[in-house]
Amino acid sequence: MATIHEIRAAFRTHSPLLLEGSTRAAVAVVLRERAQGPEVLLIERAEIEGDPWSGHMAFPGGRLDVGETVENAARRETHEEVGISLHDADPLGRLDDLTGRRSASTGLVISAFVFHHHGETPLTYQPKEVREALWVPISQLSAPERHIHKPFRGTGGMAFPGIVVGHPERQIVWGLTYRFLEVFHRVVGRPFPNRWGAIEELVK
Interval 50-102: pLDDT, tens: 666 678 999 999 999 999 999 999 999 999 999 999 999 999 999 999 997 65
The answer to whether the CB of 168 falls within 8 A of the CB of 82 is: no
Element (H, E) at 32: strand 23-32
Dist. CA 165–CA 169, nearest whole Å: 10
Q: Which amino acid is at 50?
A: G
Total Cβ atoms within 10 A of residue 202? 12
Least confident of 69-73, 151-155, 180-184, 197-201: 197-201
SS3 for 165?
A: coil
Contact by Cβ (8 Å): 60, 27: yes
pTM: 0.90
Q: How far is CA 135 from the centre of its chain?
A: 12
Residue 121 buriedness (CB in 10 A; 0-12 / 13-18 / 19+)? middle
- What was the pLDDT predicted at 201? 36
Closest CA to 178 of 158, 194, 163: 163
Give the pLDDT of residue 203: 37
